């Protein structure tokens, strides 16, 4: 029997399977600002990164106020696209209820901006399940740096070895692995075989999530 005490969830692609809508918003944003973007670039270079890192990758050294303006524009469009389609990932609610009924600690560790975290957790009534929330603006170094997950572990008052991270992006998997946590890959934005090298378990959704308790 393992000694897991904490479970840390990424948001986009994990709590919600929403990458289609982020990708659509980014493609329209790319067309407006005339920079190259396609599905492969998005999956391998965009997925899991903070807005600040992405906008500076695209536009170079821009001011924080410009980052915030661009982020508001892109995320407002994403929220309009996704709002009518929102739902928790398959099996998520049952798994979160299981974790709470068994007194596990639960955190959200995401690169997403606070506006998207509020949009997702409050629209879907999920906030009550998370003891700790760490989002993009709270960290100085985005994924694949381990800062976001190390901060979650610290706020949960646990050790990395006691925590499981659920991630879908390659940058996020690396972040969780570098933080020293057990890694569960959620195969939404990548094929299962792409996640194998950095995961202890791969799941399509949360209907099989309890398997990790036997790792």
The Cβ of residue 200 has, within 10 Å, a number of other Cβ atoms equal to 14
Sign of the four-CA dihedral 203, 205, 211, 212: positive
3-21 average pLDDT score: 95
Domain span at residue 199 reads 6-17+88-214
96 and 195 assigned to the same domain: yes
pLDDT in tens, 92-123: 999 999 999 999 999 999 999 999 999 999 99
Which string of b and e fits 82-99 if b means at least 16 CB within 10 Å? beeeeebbebbbebbeeb
Question: CA 76, CA 57: separation in Å to the nearest integer?
Answer: 21
* Residue 10 falls in the annotated catalytic set: yes
**Band (48; pLDDT cuts 50, 70, 90):** confident
The predicted pLDDT at position 1 comes to 44
Examine the fold and report which residue of 28, 50, 84 is the final residue of a domain before the chain moves on. Answer: 84
93 and 38 assigned to the same domain: no
pLDDT greater than 90 at residue 44: no
pLDDT greater than 70 at residue 215: no
- 136 Cβ neighbours under 8 A, 6+ residues apart: 50, 51, 52, 110, 111, 112, 113, 114, 142
73 and 107 assigned to the same domain: no
pLDDT in tens, 125-161: 999 999 999 999 999 998 999 999 999 999 999 999 9
The predicted pLDDT at position 2 comes to 67
80 and 102 assigned to the same domain: no
**Band (208; pLDDT cuts 50, 70, 90):** confident
Q: How many domains does the chain have?
A: 2
79 and 140 assigned to the same domain: no
Q: Exactly one of 10, 12, 17, 145 is catalytic; name it.
A: 10
**CATH number of 96's domain:** 3.40.50.1000
**CATH number of 38's domain:** 1.10.150
For residue 1, is it within any domain?
no
38 and 121 assigned to the same domain: no
pLDDT greater than 60 at residue 204: yes
181 and 195 assigned to the same domain: yes
pTM for the whole thing?
0.89
Examine the fold and report which residue of 29, 60, 84 is the final residue of a domain before the chain moves on. Answer: 84
Sign of the four-CA dihedral 139, 144, 147, 150: positive
Examine the fold and report which residue of 50, 84, 118 is the final residue of a domain before the chain moves on. Answer: 84
The Cβ of residue 44 has, within 10 Å, a number of other Cβ atoms equal to 13
For residue 107, is it within any domain?
yes
Phi, psi of 47 (to 5 degrees): -60, 125
Give the β-pairing of 6-9 and 201-203. Answer: unpaired
DSSP collapsed to 3 states, 48-108: CCCHHHHHHHHHCCCCHHHHHHHHHHHHHHHHHHHHHHCCCCCCHHHHHHHHHHCCCEEEE
94 and 189 assigned to the same domain: yes
| CA-to-CA separations, 181 to 6, 133, 160, in angstroms, rounded | 10, 17, 5
């Amino acid at each position: 029997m393992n000694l897991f005490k904490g479970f840390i969830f990424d948001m986009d692609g994990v709590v919600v399977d929403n990458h289609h809508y982020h990708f659509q918003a980014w493609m329209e944003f790319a067309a407006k600002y005339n920079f190259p973007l396609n599905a492969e670039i998005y999956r391998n270079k965009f997925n899991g990164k903070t807005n600040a890192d992405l906008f500076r990758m695209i536009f170079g050294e821009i001011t924080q106020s410009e980052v915030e303006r661009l982020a508001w524009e892109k995320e407002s469009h994403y929220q309009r696209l996704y709002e009518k389609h929102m739902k928790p990932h398959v099996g998520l609610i049952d798994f979160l209820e299981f974790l709470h009924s068994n007194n596990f600690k639960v955190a959200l560790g995401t690169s997403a901006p606070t506006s998207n975290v509020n949009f997702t957790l409050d629209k879907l009534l999920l906030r009550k399940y998370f003891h700790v929330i760490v989002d993009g603006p709270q960290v100085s170094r985005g994924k694949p740096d381990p800062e976001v997950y190390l901060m979650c572990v610290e706020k949960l008052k646990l050790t990395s070895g006691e925590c499981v991270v659920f991630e879908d992006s390659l940058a996020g998997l690396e972040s969780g692995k570098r933080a020293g946590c057990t890694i569960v890959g959620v195969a939404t934005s990548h094929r299962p075989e792409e996640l194998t090298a950095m995961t202890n378990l791969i799941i399509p959704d949360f209907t099989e999530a309890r398997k990790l308790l036997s790792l």
